[in-house]
A and B are shown apart, each in its own frame.
Chain A
């Protein structure tokens, strides 16, 4: 009886969890098949499967705006800014977790403020600042804001992760004659691999999806990123929904692939802080 009860609870829990994962995966599946529908079909019913799938939306997506330069801009921003964010955050997190120095609470508070101020309230001041410096509308314009805006969260992630790594590892390295830098980058850094994977995917997502800065700070068509390109499917009164969804598939494919590639590492990263070793 008791055994049966346990099994029943297990089955019900499993079914519930499976329902949840279905609700998480369904939007992706919906996006996939909706991109094969025509706008006529879409306007009649948004959930139905396509009656006869067409690839027109993908073909015409290349005629909207300038897809190739948007792909390049987004990739460029992510490839340059994400490694820098991860590197800086790792070092900041390490110092905050291992050392006590004068002004540390203040510095941490400043970093924390970076997380609390909403991006939209930064738009106008940042625009004015970059405008006075003559840094607007350039291939590299978005890099500094992207690095700065993502530093706080990533630094705190590294801070809490490194706090849980036993300091004995580093002490052992010092006894063997390792220098500080060598210890930092060849001993601590590899131990942080799960968190590096997590931070990478998180920041790639942030920079890849970022819209307000990309829209305001640049104005040349060739510098627009994918989120800005996606809006080009809408005119004043109407939106080419299925075309836009095909565009969404194109833009989210790289991040989905990246996630699948890193997902095992992310799981480790998420649970790594939970159990003290």
Chain B
């Protein structure tokens, strides 16, 4: 009997201990948080971000944060950091329960969601007041974070979501010394490459996003023009318009020429890159993010022979050829519940992470900052990165489908492109399917 009671009480005690310890300390935590706000001197801020790896940009971010801490000893920043992919899941969950950190990184679709729920604070006043900080941002940098003409996020950086990386040695071998600047010449080059036994464009598209995002977003804009996209987004135009069908047909022209590797839909991005590294493919299409990886990981003769280009203009198309799909992607957002000196501290921190000094440092590690920078040290960039940054000067950014459109619609378009790749659907069928997804 004694033993029974002993076991029972031990078990109860263990469970009770867990509950009491967690709740007890939990309330202690919030009590000390309150003390932070009242003591006047210290301002506590929580910061959700995904800069956790040892990548250059993540290290730069950490250094800037530490510098800010040293400069503002009264601002106590508590980081809530996890890696990029889990960060998205985590932030979506936190958003669903309304428990977002004071400052956090948010992408375009999160901003769309959180702004409508009133979780994020608008930036328009700050942008108007502090022109010294806000004037130098790249044109269209804030576009991805606008909801009803209010800006809710400060872009972290810019990304070009389309770049053709091509092997100059292979192009020379088939007698092409310069990357084609007309659509017909580009198609001819593909035929010649194919005849010479190369895969013209090697990519992995298992998730349907790579081709949709890095090939189709830009190719479609060449045909439809950006105006059409904005009108279709506001509902004035339809995906069954001739513009969109022509865009799909341009894509089909490439497919009919067997421009892509036949197993494109069954391999992933890394395997697609390997085709380019192994000289099986003459071109690889990816975004600006592929460049640092290429410099770091590609065999030396590949890196030395790599050239970069964008899609040429398409005859009869309405789009600008000096444009690529791209934009801010991620932004820094401030929680709408912040007020007074806490809010000011948060704004100051974000300015430090998006100011001139940070942008120059970004440029010097081969990133594309969200603001125009003139005085940076070119010698810190690899030759390829220098060449690339010259290519991007004065370029305009057109909408990336997967950033601007609703997730379900994006999925329909990108899977349509995937079907086009294996010849399972015609452009007309895909356009109708996409339009019915809108309705």
Interface residues of A (CB under 8 A from B): 39-40, 43-45, 60, 63-65, 84, 87, 123-124, 127-128, 131, 133-138, 140-141, 143-144, 179-182, 185, 211-212, 215-216, 219-221, 224, 228, 231-238, 240
Q: Bound state CA distance, A157 and B334, in angstroms?
A: 49
On chain B, the residues within 8 Å of A141 by CB distance are 22
| In contact, B289 and A133 (Cβ under 8 angstroms) | no
B202 CB to nearest A CB, Å: 14
Q: How far is the CB of A68 from chain B (nearest CB, A)?
A: 16
Contact of B14 (CB < 8 Å), options: A45, A84, A219: A84
Question: Is B7 among interface residues, defined by CB-CB distance under 8 A?
Answer: yes
A235 touches B97 (CB 8 A): no
Q: Given known contacts A44-B277, A215-B89, is B83 in contact with A231 (CB within 8 Å)?
A: yes
Query: CA of A141 to CA of B24 in the docked complex: distance in angstroms?
Result: 12
Known: A179-B3, A216-B90. A231 touches B82 (CB 8 A): yes
* Chain B 237-276 interface residues, beta-carbon cutoff 8 Å to A: 270, 273-274
Beta-carbon contact of B93 and A123 below 8 Å = yes
Residues in A whose Cβ lies below 8 Å from that of B83: 231-235
Of B147-155, B293-301, B407-415, the one with at least 4 CB within 8 A of chain A: B293-301
- Measured between alpha carbons, how far is A3 from B84 in the docked complex, in Å? 62
Residues of B within 8 A of A181 (CB): 3-4, 7
A84 proximity list for chain B (CB < 8 A): 14
Q: Which residue of B lies closest to A135 (CB)?
A: B22
Q: Which of B285-337 contact A (CB under 8 A)?
A: 287, 289-290, 292-293, 296-299, 330
Point out the residues of chain B lying under 8 angstroms from A40, CB to CB: 297, 299
* Residues in B lying within 8 Å of A, measured CB to CB: 1, 3-4, 7, 11, 14, 18-19, 21-23, 25-27, 29-30, 50-55, 57-58, 79-86, 89-90, 93-94, 96-97, 99, 270, 273-274, 277-278, 287, 289-290, 292-293, 296-299, 330
Inter-chain pairs besides A60-B54, A127-B93, A228-B82, 8 sampled, C-beta below 8 Å: A44-B274, A144-B19, A144-B22, A179-B1, A181-B3, A212-B89, A231-B82, A236-B50
Measured CB to CB, the nearest residue on chain A to B271 is: A46
Is B82 a contact partner of A235 (Cβ separation < 8 A)?
A: no
> Is A140 a contact of B21 with CB atoms below 8 Å?
yes
Q: In the complex, what distance in Å separates the CA atom of A133 from the CA atom of B25?
A: 11
Q: A182: which of B3, B30, B277 is its contact (CB, 8 Å)?
A: B3
Q: When A and B form their complex, what is the total count of cross-chain residue pairs whose Cβ atoms lie within 8 Å?
A: 126
A161 nearest CB across to chain B (Å)? 21
Let me know if B54 and A238 touch, CB within 8 A. Answer: no
Given A60-B54, A232-B52, A236-B289: A127 touches B299 (CB 8 Å cut-off): no
Closest residue to A211 on the B side, CB-wise? B86
Select one of B29, B51, B289 contacting A137, CB under 8 A. Answer: B29
User: Would B53 and A43 count as touching, CB distance under 8 A?
Assistant: no
User: Are B93 and A138 within 8 A (Cβ)?
Assistant: no
Contact yes or no, B30 A128, CB < 8 A = no
Q: Please determine whether A134 and B273 come into contact, CB atoms closer than 8 angstroms.
A: no
CB distance from B295 to the nearest CB of A (A): 11
**Given the known A-B contacts A131-B97, A135-B22, A135-B23, are A237 and B86 also in contact in the complex, defined by CB atoms under 8 Å?**
no
- Give the distance to chain A from B151, nearest Cβ to Cβ, in Å: 22
Q: Across the two chains, which residue of chain B brings its CB closest to A60? A: B54
Residues in chain A near residue B58, CB distance under 8 A? 235
Residue numbers in B under 8 Å from A219 (CB-CB): 80
Contact A232–B53 (Cβ < 8 Å): yes
In the assembly, what is the distance between CA of A182 and CA of B93, in Å?
A: 47
In the complex, the answer to whether B55 meets A235 with C-beta atoms within 8 Å is yes
Taking a contact as CB atoms closer than 8 A, the residue among A45, A87, A124, A185 that contacts B97 in the complex is A124
Instruction: Decide: A43 and B297 in contact? CB cutoff 8 A.
Output: yes
Min CB distance, A201 to chain B, in Å? 22
Q: Which residue of B lies closest to A236 (CB)?
A: B84
- The answer to whether A237 and B93 have CB atoms under 8 Å apart is no
| Cβ-defined contact, A215 with B97, below 8 A | no
Q: In whole angstroms, what is the CA distance A64 to B273 when docked?
A: 26
On whether A240 and B53 interact (CB within 8 A), knowing A84-B14, A128-B97, A216-B93, the answer reads yes
Are A233 and B53 in contact, CB atoms less than 8 angstroms apart?
Answer: yes
21 contacts between A and B (CB under 8 A): A39-B296, A40-B299, A43-B270, A63-B54, A124-B97, A133-B23, A134-B22, A137-B26, A138-B26, A140-B21, A141-B22, A143-B18, A144-B19, A144-B22, A215-B90, A224-B82, A231-B85, A231-B86, A232-B53, A237-B293, A240-B54
